[in-house]
Chain A
Amino acid sequence: MREITYREALREALSEEIERDENVVILGEEVAQYNGAYKVTQGLWEKYGDKRVVDTPISEAGFIGMGIGASMLGIRPVMELMFWSFAYVAWDQILNNAAMVRYMSGGQINCPIVIRGPANGGTNVGATHSHTPENFIANTAGLKVVCPATAYDAKGLMKAAIRDNDPVYVMENTLLYGMKGDVPEEDYVIPIGKADIKREGTDLSIICHGRAVLTSLKAAEELEAKHGIHAEVLDLRSIRPLDEQAIIESVRKTNRALLVEENKPFAGVGAQIAHLIQWNCFDYLDAPIARVSAIDAPAIYSKPLEDFQLPTPERVLEAALKLCQ
């Protein structure tokens, strides 16, 4: 298999879906002539032209709402947010219109829209640009949200998102765009809602998503090399729908759960998962469920502190060791 970057994997997904379905159109700020703020859409405008790859003005509420309206009539818009941090100016469109129109119409209207873009901290740009809103999205019935951690997952989930008949929001990560991974040449789709065991283990389940998966994998290596602890790393990939079965199976096997995410702790994704684990695995637990999240303050600018604020392999390792004492 060949290796390509996470960014290239996303681009391939977009390109292949544009070719597969004439109703797929990419819209967003700087996606066309500028080739994308993070170059995810590089070359697509040149290849597919004005109709399929469309630059919008800086009007997130306006153009995302427009995409939602167009999707009601059968277009499949893939809207880029330069950062998910900018979603809040379009919150009414993103959380109210896209999520509710199917319900309020009694199932008469579908909203097959994709909203994608980076949702991460750790890039030294301060609090306004470092949001991770997957928990807010997952809190809203009617929406789906996925957080790919690898190139393979990025491509497979993006294609699944575009083909899905419900609104699917894809949380990418600028720190992952350059990461390489194996991606097959042939067409594939990853079912939304299917977790992936990124590393098998027997002593402890580290349950995570997004870049926290890579952090957890590093910690798991250390755990094994230095402490002889075999940690399983379960990558959720999709937050809603959620692969609850995979979580339950892993925890029933290892009897210990550590939840790692770059989201904030209060009502973060881990809070829901901790509940699911105690509800389904109460008799299997040999230790309390532990969580490692971003440290609970706005994202700090200062680089060394920012690096510490997000879950680090060291913080994950420490939490894991406590659980396995």
Chain B
Amino acid sequence: MSSKKKQGFEAIATEADPRGFEGHSINQSLSSEEKIGFYREMVRIRRFEERSLRAYQQGKIGGFLHLYIGQESVAVGSLSVCGENDHVITAYRDHGHALASGMNMNECMAEMFGKHTGCSKGKGGSMHFFAPEKNYWGGHGIVAGQTPLGLGLAYALKYKGIKGAALCYMGDGAVNQGVFHESLNLASLFELPVVYIIENNGYSMGTSLQRSSAYTESLGKRAEAYNIEWETVQGHLIYEVRAKVNEAIQRAHESSKPTILEIITYRYRGHSIADANADKYRTKEEVKEYQEKKDPINVWRNLLLEDKVLTEEQAKEIDKQARAEADASADFADQSPYPPTESIIEDVYWTHDNPGKHDNEGRIFFNDDWGPQA
């Protein structure tokens, strides 16, 4: 055995059986339709993002574009066990969670194009997708800034006596933010039904886990300092993700207790598309090895093929449909109008948007040359 300390993903990757949790109660009763559905969801996310990458390269999308490619099974698996009172909030790498929450490609693609038909009317961009009516609370750009918000969703559920959970996703870099630790302490102290899901993809931007965390054997273990239950999850395995996320959600529902799940996963692309060092902090071989052995879509497809739940033709058809849907969303985004100039000052204040429904007075916007004047 080499004495060289393992670096990057190599250090956290372990072998696991794709069928390890097949017999778990949450997986036993899955219909073929549902299993194919997970496959379709993952493929949709990937094709959507690949299409968005092309749009970015064509200059249609600006700013940052953080692709989720490689991690799809985490969002799809975990969201597949959520019920109507379970809520979701995540960071800026948010396309997968958005689509898996039921948002459609059009509103997401148009948002990235900065169009008025986007989910946030072009005001949020790639990092800030929202669909509260689908229990999807964003899309947050500040590393770990969403962690107390997720706690607040859980607080509200408990306060209202609703049996639900808040799933709050973050990266392996976010665990080193103070506000996350404050949130953990509060979650445990107040016994809140929150599930913190650390999507450990081995890197925060160009910094490997080994260079950012003092204790690298496990990030989930930090839970112990706060008296919180935790688990490590092999993120490329849908059955396992579903089983462990479901247990955490049950803990939230039944005993109003938090959980930390560290889900091991991997991203194939650079941190964002504008990542100049994308090839420098890890080797091509590392990426290739993961893609060959653990690509979540391949692993799931092979399993379904083996079980004869899915045929090659069906898989191809699903892929074709996803590409067509993604292309159509890009066309939709392209043809959609930009938001009107007046909309810059809409959606800032509820009161400004709802004249006659409140008794606020005075001036709320302060440009001399533009906007409402005194």
A residues within 8 Å of B by Cβ? 23, 25, 51, 56-57, 59, 61-75, 92-93, 96-97, 101-110, 141-142, 144, 160, 164-166, 189, 191-195, 238, 240-245, 248, 272, 279-280
- Chain A neighbourhood of B119, CB < 8 A: 106
B113 to chain A, nearest CB (A): 14
Cα-based distance from A83 to B300 in the complex (angstroms): 54
Q: Contact: A192 with B361, CB < 8 Å? A: yes
Cα-based distance from A240 to B366 in the complex (angstroms): 10
Q: Contact: B149 with A103, CB < 8 Å? A: no
User: Given contacts A141-B365, A241-B361, are A107 and B347 in contact (CB under 8 A)?
Assistant: yes
Cα-based distance from A108 to B133 in the complex (angstroms): 9
User: Given contacts A69-B151, A97-B145, A105-B132, are A193 and B138 in contact (CB under 8 A)?
Assistant: no
- Chain B neighbourhood of A241, CB < 8 A: 360-364
Cα-based distance from A93 to B359 in the complex (angstroms): 27
Whether B237 is near chain A, meaning CB under 8 Å from some CB there, is no
Whether B351 is near chain A, meaning CB under 8 Å from some CB there, is yes
B226 to chain A, nearest CB (A): 11
B341 to chain A, nearest CB (A): 15
- Chain A neighbourhood of B364, CB < 8 A: 193, 240-242
Q: Which residue of B lies closest to A165 (CB)?
A: B350
Which of B149, B183, B189, B348 is the one whose CB lies under 8 Å from A72? B149
Cα-based distance from A239 to B149 in the complex (angstroms): 27
Q: Is the interface of A mostly helix, strand, loop or mixed?
A: mixed
Which of A75, A104, A105, A244 is the one whose CB lies under 8 Å from B362? A244
Q: Contact: B120 with A72, CB < 8 Å? A: no
Q: Which residues from 339 to 374 on chain B have a C-beta closer than 8 Å to any C-beta of chain A?
A: 345-351, 353-354, 358-366, 368, 374
Q: Contact: B353 with A106, CB < 8 Å? A: no
A134 to chain B, nearest CB (A): 15
Q: Which residues from 233 to 272 on chain B have a C-beta closer than 8 Å to any C-beta of chain A?
A: none
Q: Contact: A245 with B362, CB < 8 Å? A: yes
- Chain A neighbourhood of B150, CB < 8 A: 69
**4 cross-chain pairs, A with B, having the tightest CB-CB distances, nearest first:** A69-B152, A65-B148, A62-B182, A193-B362
Cα-based distance from A206 to B281 in the complex (angstroms): 61
User: Given contacts A66-B186, A105-B124, are A189 and B346 in contact (CB under 8 A)?
Assistant: no
User: Given contacts A56-B186, A93-B148, are A106 and B123 in contact (CB under 8 A)?
Assistant: yes
Q: Contact: A106 with B121, CB < 8 Å? A: yes
Which of B123, B149, B155, B166 is the one whose CB lies under 8 Å from A75? B155
A102 to chain B, nearest CB (A): 6
- Chain B neighbourhood of A105, CB < 8 A: 120, 123-124, 128, 130, 132, 138, 347
Q: Contact: A62 with B183, CB < 8 Å? A: yes
Q: Which residue of A lies closest to B121 (CB)?
A: A106
User: Given contacts A61-B148, A72-B137, A106-B121, are A66 and B374 in contact (CB under 8 A)?
Assistant: no
Please name 18 pairs of A and B residues whose Cβ atoms are closer than 8 Å in the assembled complex, sorted by A. A51-B159, A59-B186, A62-B151, A62-B179, A66-B149, A66-B152, A66-B155, A69-B137, A69-B151, A70-B155, A73-B160, A75-B156, A97-B140, A103-B123, A103-B347, A104-B124, A107-B121, A242-B366
Cα-based distance from A142 to B133 in the complex (angstroms): 22
- Chain B neighbourhood of A109, CB < 8 A: 130, 132, 137
- Chain A neighbourhood of B155, CB < 8 A: 66, 69-70, 75
B177 to chain A, nearest CB (A): 9
Q: Contact: A106 with B186, CB < 8 Å? A: no
- Chain B neighbourhood of A165, CB < 8 A: 350-351, 354, 358
Which of B178, B189, B346, B350 is the one whose CB lies under 8 Å from A61? B178
Q: Known pairs A72-B152, A102-B348. 9 more at Cβ < 8 A?
A: A59-B186, A74-B160, A103-B348, A105-B347, A109-B132, A109-B137, A141-B345, A165-B351, A165-B358
Most buried by A among B150, B182, B345, B359: B182
Cα-based distance from A166 to B189 in the complex (angstroms): 29
Q: Contact: A67 with B130, CB < 8 Å? A: no
Cα-based distance from A97 to B139 in the complex (angstroms): 11
Q: Which residue of A lies closest to B111 (CB)?
A: A106
Cα-based distance from A106 to B374 in the complex (angstroms): 26
A256 to chain B, nearest CB (A): 20
Most buried by B among A75, A105, A107, A189: A105
Q: Contact: A72 with B153, CB < 8 Å? A: yes
- Chain A neighbourhood of B151, CB < 8 A: 62, 65-66, 69
User: Given contacts A141-B365, A241-B364, are A107 and B353 in contact (CB under 8 A)?
Assistant: yes
Q: Contact: B363 with A244, CB < 8 Å? A: yes
- Chain B neighbourhood of A25, CB < 8 A: 159
Cβ proximity bits B78-107 to A, threshold 8 Å, 1 near / 0 not: 000000000101000000000000000000
Most buried by A among B133, B178, B360, B368: B360
Which of B182, B360, B374 is the one whose CB lies under 8 Å from A191? B360
A109 to chain B, nearest CB (A): 5
Whether B131 is near chain A, meaning CB under 8 Å from some CB there, is yes
